[in-house]
Amino acid sequence: MRAAVVVTILVACGSAPPPAPVVQNTPRVRTCSEAAVGLDRATQALREPDAAVLAPLKTKCLDGPWSQAAIDCFATMKVDDLAKCASMLPDRPREAMFQILADREPTQAALAIAKARLDAMKVGVDECDRFIQAVSAVLTCESMPLEARVQLGNETADVWSLPTSRLSPEAHARMATACETSLHTLEKRVADVGCMP
């Protein structure tokens, strides 16, 4: 009897455990609804409290179409990620998104949106990209009146959001010259109020 108990214990302890269940890790695919919620949440401090943006942003995402990388970025974005996520969108969908978020009145929200537009903008002409970066830097200068900074940011974003991928060499050179001249004018203008880009 004693041998039977020992054999039973050995058999019970020696049997192999059942195989672990197979768990497949499928990547989570975020939706336009989640992107709109993330944008709404992260930009609340930039907008008027009663500004309704969820439905229009979801529609723009669906109509865009926005890339999955952009949707993921917006769905998980933090307060300072607007420019980073916006740069993942093509020009037209990005500008449409900014139009929904933008407040053209001279408020801190309008200033933040103008700065995000500029930070996401890449013209592809080195002199113009430097000018846009300088304007973006100037927008943080408290010595310049808020209204003037909002106007400067919006005008710069509106003027320089042009397609430049198929410029002739002559047009490229003219744009470079115009941007270099604009940068020198900006530097003089902001130096007068104690700001340097």
One domain for residues 124 and 95? no
- 22-40 pLDDT per residue, tens: 656 667 888 989 998 998 8
Residue range(s) defining the domain that contains residue 91: 28-101
Q: Determine, yes or no, domain membership for 160.
A: yes
In Å, how far from its chain's centre is CA 64?
15
Is the per-residue pLDDT at 3 higher than 60?
Answer: no
Q: Kindly state the percentage of the chain with pLDDT values over 90.
A: 22
Please indicate, yes or no, if residue 8 is contained in any of the structural domains. Answer: no
Position 118 in a domain: yes
What pLDDT does residue 19 have? Answer: 67
Of 76, 101, 126, which residue sits at a domain end? 101
Q: Is residue 54 part of a domain?
A: yes
Question: What's the pLDDT tens digit per position in 81-129?
Answer: 888 898 898 888 888 888 888 765 667 778 888 888 898 888 888 999 9
Let me know whether 153 and 109 are in one domain. Answer: yes
Average pLDDT, the chain: 81
Q: What does the pLDDT average to over 56-79? A: 89
Domain end marker among 84, 101, 118: 101
- Is residue 9 domain-resident? no
Whether residue 5 has pLDDT greater than 50: no
Domain end position, chosen among 78, 101, 124: 101
- Pairs from 190-196 (Cβ < 8 Å, separation ≥ 24): 190/138, 190/141, 190/144, 193/141, 193/143, 193/144, 194/141, 194/143, 195/138, 195/141, 195/143, 195/144
Are residues 92 and 107 both part of a single domain?
no
pLDDT on residue 104: 57
Same-domain pairing of 69 and 49? yes
DSSP class per residue in the chain: -HHHHHHHHHHHHHSPPPPPPP---PPP---HHHHHHHHHHHTGGGS-TT---HHHHHHHHHHTTPPHHHHHHHHT--GGGHHHHHTTS-HHHHHHHHHHH---SSSHHHHHHHHHHHHH---S-HHHHHHHHHHHHHTT-TTS-HHHHHHHHHHHHHHH----TT--HHHHHHHHHHHHHHHHHHHHHHHTTT---
Same domain, yes or no: 93 and 165:
no
Asked whether residue 123 falls in the same domain as residue 48, the answer is: no
Give 5 or 171, the one with higher predicted confidence. Answer: 171
What local confidence, expressed as pLDDT, does residue 10 receive? 47
State how many domains the chain has: 2
**Within a domain: residue 3?**
no
In this structure, the answer to whether residues 113 and 80 fall within a common structural domain is no
Model confidence, pTM = 0.64
Q: How confident is the model at residue 80 (pLDDT cuts 50, 70, 90)?
A: confident
Check whether residue 107 and residue 197 sit in a common domain. yes
